[in-house]
Chains A and B, each alone.
Chain A
């Protein structure tokens, strides 16, 4: 017994070191973001001599991170709302209503799940260019919706399969159409799944760089992540400003993680256990 306990404590040591290695890079970046340029050049490791947000405000206003932040918020919000709406509608129909072709449609969604973006990015860029959607907010939103919709439909379908058909029958007897059932029953019942899937989709869209680079070439349309990559080239000599920009881009995700860690982990595992 005590032998087992000893083993556990011995295991905790390297695990603690690894935890440190996991947190340290972010602490280092946060520290650098508070330093002056001079301070950084003199000693990269010293703790910043004051809690200072000059670099953050500088990156926000003069470097344009504020603008990019706004772009990201607009695009991600629109994409997530659309994803949840379309995903829950399709999930309801595919899980609870039997109709001709439903299993073919569900298989089509599954197949799309296995087509990575890299494989379709060239033709997709051409389709977007042909339809005039390239370099527009709508185009990027559509690209995100197309990218994450199969996953959303899949998860919502498996969630709605657990809903007892009696609930729907009861609602129909009360005189609801299928649309009414969707709006009054399925949307509220689906709330926990919608929250998980919504958070996950928000993370995916917020963190993406490849799709945004491809769909939004012009500088004023940059999303935050594209902005960070541009920052790297422009401010390679001004590391503290660069670090501040990185922090701005990471901040919403940090906050999300602090408050909704459970839902994020649930979303990740839902895909695994229901596959």
Chain B
């Protein structure tokens, strides 16, 4: 990605360093540096590898190797057929399982809600950037839930969204009936996603604000002098100017929805009611941890990985086209 932006590096510094100390030791070199210089060339040439080795070994052994292992698992059997090749049986099981289909449908729901999850922090960042009274205060308050664990957030909202909890009490005051936020299969998923957005919009907000810092202020002033309304300023100046940031927030928000809602689901609904709040990551956990079906879980993992790749690529290309047109 940003690999091409390597600053012009010193040519083969390790090799050069070895050569230099061998040919002409610095005049001040006393006994100690000379000893180092003698041992130098090979030790120095190996040094970069020694420095990266621990990190690379861990990443390969515990991230990249398991990825291959998992894809491999997904084509073997569980239980009695443990380890035996079974072709695509796990994938057939997977798509035949109503729970997994619910999980996929919920992913679709997340995609539909994505624009809202991006627009809210985007708008709020715009207002903060335009120096609404109290913008500093708003900034630090809004960012705050983003640092809390999903477990904490879920636990708190378990209390707030309880059938006899504060939210329903508030609704009762304005004459609206109690809603079974986490107990109604038609509502629970929306409630969990809503809480997820509440908990994470501060993260996107901060990213947006960093994007605003790169925006040309003169452009905004010019638009305002020309009498553009707030809506026009947002649509014609801010959105095109921040296209890179918006792209980034879209992708990271979607990835966040697909990979960091486990804590909320685990604490708030445990996948219920009636399995209505399953997401692929929760399905993987249940199949691995509760039903002891690692191969099936691996198949679900592989599908999740595919979804994430497709979503990422699709969004990038869509947004790139939209930006070109405008």
Contact = CB atoms under 8 A, between A and B. Distances in A.
B263 A165 contact: no
Contacts of A98: 9-14
Contacts of A15: 124, 127, 132, 134, 138
Contact of A177 (B47, B203, B289): B47
A124 interface: yes
B151 interface: yes
A207 B150 contact: yes
Given A98-B13, A210-B262, A232-B155, A173 B141 contact: no
B59 A264 contact: no
B49 interface: yes
A234 interface: no
B21 to A, nearest CB: 8
B156 A29 contact: yes
Interface in B157-200: 157-160, 164-166, 169, 198
Interface in B35-86: 36, 40, 43-45, 47-49, 51-52, 54-56, 58-67, 69-70, 73
Interface stretch (B25-33, B93-101, B104-112, B314-322): B25-33
A150 B210 contact: no
A179 to B, nearest CB: 6
Nearest to B268: A232
A86 to B, nearest CB: 4
A81 interface: no
Nearest to A152: B55
Contacts of A90: 51-52, 54-56
A149 B141 CA distance: 29
A7 B133 CA distance: 11
Interface in A120-142: 120-127, 142
A112 B64 contact: yes
A101 to B, nearest CB: 8
Interface in A163-216: 165, 168-169, 172-175, 177-179, 182, 203, 206-210, 213-214
Contact of B127 (A11, A103, A213): A11
A44 B165 contact: yes
Contacts, number: 303
A158 to B, nearest CB: 7
Contacts of B280: 118
B203 A127 contact: no
Contact of A120 (B6, B10, B158, B301): B301
Contacts of B284: 118, 121-122
Interface residues of B, number: 109
Contacts of A274: 2
Interface string A237-268: 00100110010011001001100010011001
A200 to B, nearest CB: 10
Contact of A22 (B66, B141, B160): B141
B58 A142 contact: yes
B102 interface: no
Contact of A93 (B33, B52, B73, B262): B52
A178 B56 contact: no
A228 interface: yes
Nearest to A102: B48
Contacts of A22: 141-142, 144-145, 198
Given A90-B51, A149-B58, A122 B70 contact: yes
Contacts of A70: none
Dominant secondary structure of chain A at its interface with chain B: helix
Contacts of B137: 19
B147 A269 contact: no
B294 A120 contact: no
Given A97-B48, A268-B207, A249 B151 contact: yes
Interface size of A as a range: 35 or more
B52 A89 contact: yes
Interface string B283-312: 011001100001001100110110010001
Nearest to A131: B61
B55 A107 contact: no
B239 interface: no
A93 B48 contact: yes
B245 interface: yes
A25 B73 CA distance: 43
A7 B126 CA distance: 13
A225 interface: yes
Contacts of A208: 149
Interface of B: 1-3, 6-7, 9-14, 17, 26, 28-29, 32-33, 36, 40, 43-45, 47-49, 51-52, 54-56, 58-67, 69-70, 73, 124, 127, 130-134, 137-138, 140-152, 155-160, 164-166, 169, 198, 203, 206-207, 209-211, 224, 230, 245, 248, 252, 255, 258-259, 262-263, 266-267, 280-281, 284-285, 288-289, 294, 297-298, 301-302, 304-305, 308, 312
Given A25-B156, A92-B51, 17 more contacts: A7-B230, A8-B130, A18-B124, A44-B165, A86-B55, A89-B55, A90-B51, A97-B13, A119-B304, A120-B70, A161-B6, A177-B44, A207-B148, A210-B263, A232-B267, A253-B152, A275-B248
